[in-house]
Structure 1
Amino acid sequence: MVVPSPFVYWAQTEDAVSLKIDLKNVDQPNVKVLDSKVIFSAQGIGARGQSQYEFALDLYSPVKPNDGDNQPVVMRVFDNRVELSLQKSSGAWWPRLTAQPQKPAWLKINFDLWKSEDMQDSDEETRDIMKDYPGMYDQLHKEELGYRREEFKKVYLILYNLFQTIGFVYVLSVMSVRYSKLGYDSVIDTYEHVGSAMKFLHLMQILEILHPIFGYTKGGPFVPFAQLIGRIFVLFVMIECEPRMQAKPVVFYLFVVWSTIEIVRHLFYFTQLLNKEYPLLTWIRYTAWIPLYPMGISGEAYVMITNIQHFQETQIFNVSMPNDWNFIYNMPTHLRIHSSILVGPGLLFLMTHMYKMMRKRQRTEAAKLK
């Protein structure tokens, strides 16, 4: 009768190897750690149910066995697993756990522990093997899974930026094709043909405010909020709620500028997430904002200023006294204040933020050349 082997999950640091043995209700396991071999046997509940389980591993390099008062082998028994911590005889990263290249089917990699400097509690800064030894980490992933496993949030960000890139390319392509066929006549009904797509893409960009909150991207939520809220106001209030504005050429102009900005931005982020570097794209990303951002903000301000007369006529969104909340709101006054802030402090804030990003990127590139 063949005695089954339990599932064993292994991880390592430069100085130690850990084994997590997937067995429940283990009582007094028998463990022998020799120079380059680990032998384990115990009664417990595993993949085959309640049974006797055992395994033997010929290790890639020697480990320190227990010797008198010196106890480098640490075993801890829990209700649902047994953990072994082995000290390597010489500090070095192993390319694999076993001496032979072929590993048994029940031996798995415990990727959750591969970012830990020490298997024990430690106050020291942890290391990330993905950064320190990227080739080894990729090799282990491919050995275990057949492909390079990515974190969920990275896969999500790749798909998000790809979707946004394709979406804005679609908007710009439709506008370009229509203009090439119809000329200036296509400008008047731009909103009718691509307005829905533009609204959907900007609603999805609300996720970018949540990304830094949940740790998906660096920085804080204020900058993406400040950049997005103005566009949403222009798109959903200034244009969507005023049919006369939808037929004005400024809408075509704004959509071209917005789409160009977003295609460059999301395509750059997409390539960065794939660890691809394209110098031309990087240069465009950190220089195109110089003309495009003032053009976009001036277009948004123009829409607001033009709409002052329209909203004075329609009185839409105005709140007059008396009312239950003792509150008064005048949209034309709002637009005067909003547009003046947008072309003043708003533009200054946005351009300063982009300039800092550009300088930071330049310093990073200069450091790589040293």
Structure 2
Amino acid sequence: MAMTAARAYLLVYNAAMCCGWAYILGRLLWTVTAPPPAPGAGYPHTPIYDAVAPALRVFQTGAVAEVAHAATGLVRTPAATTALQVGSRLFLLWPILEGLTPVHGHMAVATMVGAWAATEVPRYAFYAVGAAAGSAAVPRWLVWLRYTTFLPLYPLGAGSEVALILAALPVLARARGAYLSIAMPNAWNVAFDFWTWCVFIVVMYVPGLPFMYMHMMRQRRKALGGGQKTKAA
């Protein structure tokens, strides 16, 4: 059977995302294991983030397409859940990491990016193979990786995200009302304090983490339990 345009697009998209995240993971591991630079060598103060940031901007932002895929029915994935997952990462990437350079040197940058990348490589590989050859052709080991890596990596990634937001709070407090905030009075008669929003986001991790974890556990049981066939999105 000839490959449809939709399947061809999903193959290219998922293969590109898999390669991008593999590159990010490789850059991260290379930087973490590389010997420290000699004093005065002009090495950046935040080597880990500087090493992964260019590719991270491209490939994490590229995940916005997944929301469109789900919303248009191109893949059978809940659009709301996809938007929540992608949105939380974009919040960490752009307003927190890209907007607040003092956070770049936090150790949670490495654990967060590592957890993201190690999860995404098998996930996108799973979808790429499914788009290319059908769900029945996806190797069992890849199915297992796709639905198992999140078990340790999701709590690690989420914990690192919370750690980075908490690290950003003192930075935001010093610029309170100036960074991504709207003060009263104004023509719209609205106010927004980004520091307060970050505190709210941290609080929302308390119910959000178990909810998302249980959602993924249900997906895992459906894919691996009872001998059911896996359906690649």
RMSD value, Cα: 2.1
Q: 2:3 aligns with which of 147, 150, 157?
A: 150
Distance of aligned partners of 1:179 and 1:205 in 2 relative to their CA distance in 1, 3 Å threshold: same
Instruction: Kindly indicate whether residue 192 of structure 2 is the aligned counterpart of residue 338 of structure 1.
Output: no
Provide the C-alpha distance between the structure 2 equivalents of 1:267 and 1:187, rounded to a whole number of angstroms.
34
Provide the C-alpha distance between the structure 1 equivalents of 2:196 and 2:110, rounded to a whole number of angstroms.
26
Instruction: Kindly indicate whether residue 144 of structure 2 is the aligned counterpart of residue 283 of structure 1.
Output: yes
Kindly provide the amino acid, as one letter, of the partner of residue 204 in structure 1.
G
The alpha-carbon deviation at position 217 of structure 1 amounts to 0.4
Aligned length: 220
Provide the C-alpha distance between the structure 2 equivalents of 1:324 and 1:163, rounded to a whole number of angstroms.
44
Q: 1:206 aligns with which of 18, 43, 64?
A: 64
Provide the C-alpha distance between the structure 2 equivalents of 1:337 and 1:303, rounded to a whole number of angstroms.
14
Kindly provide the amino acid, as one letter, of the partner of residue 152 in structure 1.
A
Equivalent residue, structure 2, for 1:182: 35
Name stretches of at least 5 consecutive residues in structure 2 with no aligned partner. 38-42
Equivalent residue, structure 2, for 1:124: none
Provide the C-alpha distance between the structure 1 equivalents of 2:30 and 2:180, rounded to a whole number of angstroms.
37
The alpha-carbon deviation at position 216 of structure 1 amounts to 1.3
Equivalent residue, structure 1, for 2:215: 353
Instruction: Kindly indicate whether residue 106 of structure 2 is the aligned counterpart of residue 248 of structure 1.
Output: yes
Provide the C-alpha distance between the structure 1 equivalents of 2:172 and 2:217, rounded to a whole number of angstroms.
36
Provide the C-alpha distance between the structure 2 equivalents of 1:187 and 1:211, rounded to a whole number of angstroms.
38
Q: 1:227 aligns with which of 85, 91, 94?
A: 85
The alpha-carbon deviation at position 247 of structure 1 amounts to 1.9
- Counterparts of 1:1-370 in structure 2 under 5 Å? 138=1, 149-182=2-35, 188-273=46-131, 274-275=133-134, 276-315=137-176, 316-342=179-205, 344-363=206-225, 365-366=227-228
Distance of aligned partners of 1:232 and 1:294 in 2 relative to their CA distance in 1, 3 Å threshold: same
Distance of aligned partners of 1:340 and 1:334 in 2 relative to their CA distance in 1, 3 Å threshold: same
Equivalent residue, structure 2, for 1:88: none
The alpha-carbon deviation at position 180 of structure 1 amounts to 2.8
Kindly provide the amino acid, as one letter, of the partner of residue 162 in structure 1.
A
Any conservation in 1 of the 2:180–2:194 contact (CA below 8 Å)? yes
Q: Percent identity?
A: 22
Per-residue CA deviations over 1:304-342 (Å, capped at 9, x if unaligned) read 111111101022122222222221212221111111102
What's the TM-score once normalised by structure 2's chain length? 0.87
Equivalent residue, structure 2, for 1:84: none
Provide the C-alpha distance between the structure 2 equivalents of 1:366 and 1:206, rounded to a whole number of angstroms.
30
The alpha-carbon deviation at position 234 of structure 1 amounts to 0.6
Q: Secondary structure at the match of 2:34?
A: helix
Name stretches of at least 5 consecutive residues in structure 1 with no aligned partner. 1-137, 139-148
The alpha-carbon deviation at position 179 of structure 1 amounts to 2.7
Per-residue CA deviations over 1:122-180 (Å, capped at 9, x if unaligned) read xxxxxxxxxxxxxxxx4xxxxxxxxxx21000011011110001001111112222333
More strand by share: 1
Query: Which protein has greater RCO, CA pairs closer than 8 Å, 6+ apart?
Result: 2
Provide the C-alpha distance between the structure 2 equivalents of 1:210 and 1:364, rounded to a whole number of angstroms.
31
Q: Secondary structure at the match of 2:54?
A: helix
Provide the C-alpha distance between the structure 2 equivalents of 1:325 and 1:282, rounded to a whole number of angstroms.
50
Provide the C-alpha distance between the structure 2 equivalents of 1:361 and 1:169, rounded to a whole number of angstroms.
24
Per-residue CA deviations over 1:278-307 (Å, capped at 9, x if unaligned) read 222222221221111111111111111111
Provide the C-alpha distance between the structure 1 equivalents of 2:210 and 2:45, rounded to a whole number of angstroms.
30
More helix by share: 2
Moved more, 271-280 or 308-317: 271-280
Provide the C-alpha distance between the structure 2 equivalents of 1:296 and 1:339, rounded to a whole number of angstroms.
14
Distance of aligned partners of 1:367 and 1:244 in 2 relative to their CA distance in 1, 3 Å threshold: closer
What's the TM-score once normalised by structure 1's chain length? 0.56
